[in-house]
Amino acid sequence: VKKKPLVVVTRKLPDSIETRMRELFDARINLDDTPMSAEQIAEAARTADILVPTVTDHISADVVNQPDCKLKLIANFGNGVDNIDVEAAHARGITVTNTPKVLTEDTADMTMALILAVPRRMIEGASVLTEGKPWAGWSPTWMLGHRIGGKRLGIVGMGRIGQAVARRARAFGLQIHYHNRRPVAPKIAEELGATYWESLDQMLARMDIISVNCPHTPATYHLLSARRLKLIRKDAYIVNTARGEVTDEDTLIKLIEGGEIGGAGLDVYEHEPAVNPKLVRLAKAGKVILMPHMGSATIEGRVEMGEKVIINIRTFLDAHKPPDRVLPSML
Ligand code: 8YV
């Protein structure tokens, strides 16, 4: 009987995925639902043929460059691969895959929810009742937010998720603008009614709401730098469901505190899971809405992500190219 490949899974996954993995592979699943330590990850790379990490695991060059690293495939349970040194893995002949597409719509839903919730002060309003604060009843001038319809939405990164956000936002009457390395195909731009800005600076200066939807790569680290954040209008809002590292979080906080940016809806943080206490203060003051990285957190999505991981592993083991290979040139 052929020996089953050893697959180390760093976090607990949905039950149906775990069961299937145990049927197919010699799956060692970290059932303790906390991230594995750097030492445990390094050890897993020395013993496993295949590693299934998540956003909470850092697969550095040091991990893959260990002389006795045994890994042949890193099948990421996640779309973003900024937790993996893809170049170092590639140089060592290790294949890397991710789970694109299945979390596009869920992440776009969360993004749209924040685009609505921040200007309409939804969490601030709800907290009046849930925290038992006094409510004098309806008033013509109380708890007023800003209208969504007609405002300009600037999407930073018009990939699958950016486009899914644009589709939703259009239905809410927002004007769609975007910055991307390249313009999208004319057919898509037309369908989305989207205006391309080659200059991110110029777009930022003119938008009412900015949504960050690009991956975190060396090229997008602090893409919204201190200088660029200062271009944003005083009454504008920023929504980030991508990665905290894309914005200079300290500067963002200072600008919101100083009334230089209207507010923010954040699902991701620069030093996740640490959340800057200043952000918590701003949330209590109703200036920002903070979500604990829940963009793709649906039962359906997590099962589909697991199914993708399994397909990637099985195709790899069948000596074919897995469907969701990530190459350094794609980053
Ligand atoms: C995932 C994400 O839940 O897929 C991504 O890039 O940011 C999340 O929504 C997480 O990464 C899983 O590893």
| Residue 10 dihedral angles phi and psi, to the nearest 5° | -80, -20
Annotated catalytic residue 293: yes
Alpha carbon 42 to chain centroid distance? 25
Helix (H, G, I), strand (E, B) or coil at 213: coil
Residue in 43, 87, 191, 272 annotated catalytic: 272
CA 36 to ligand 1 center in whole angstroms: 16
Of 202, 198, 252, the C-alpha closest to 225 is 252
**Rounded Cα distance, 91 and 187, in Å:** 37
Annotated catalytic residue 272: yes
Q: Tokens 């002389």, residue?
A: 67
CA 57 to ligand 1 center in whole angstroms: 11
CB atoms within 10 A of CB 232: 23
Helix (H, G, I), strand (E, B) or coil at 12: coil
Instruction: Write out residues with Cβ below 6 Å of ligand 1.
Output: 54-55, 77-80, 103, 295-296
CB atoms within 10 A of CB 169: 25
- Residue ranges of domains in the chain, CATH in brackets: 6-100+299-330 (3.40.50.720), 104-290 (3.40.50.720)
Between the alpha carbon of residue 72 and those of residues 34, 113, 260, 316, 326, the distances in Å are 25, 39, 49, 9, 14
Query: What is the tens place of the pLDDT at every residue in 26-65?
Result: 999 999 889 999 999 999 999 999 999 999 999 999 999 9
Answer for the pair 95, 64: CB distance below 8 angstroms, yes or no. no
Residue in 243, 245, 249, 302 annotated catalytic: 243
Give bridge partners of residue 51 from the DSSP assignment: 8, 74
Answer for the pair 121, 95: CB distance below 8 angstroms, yes or no. no
pLDDT (mean) for 82-109: 98
Annotated catalytic residue 320: no
Query: What is the tens place of the pLDDT at every residue in 130-163?
Result: 999 999 999 999 999 999 999 999 999 999 999 9
Confidence of residue 1 (pLDDT cuts 50, 70, 90): low
ipTM for this model:
0.93
Alpha carbon 93 to chain centroid distance? 27
CB atoms within 10 A of CB 116: 18
CA 212 to ligand 1 center in whole angstroms: 15
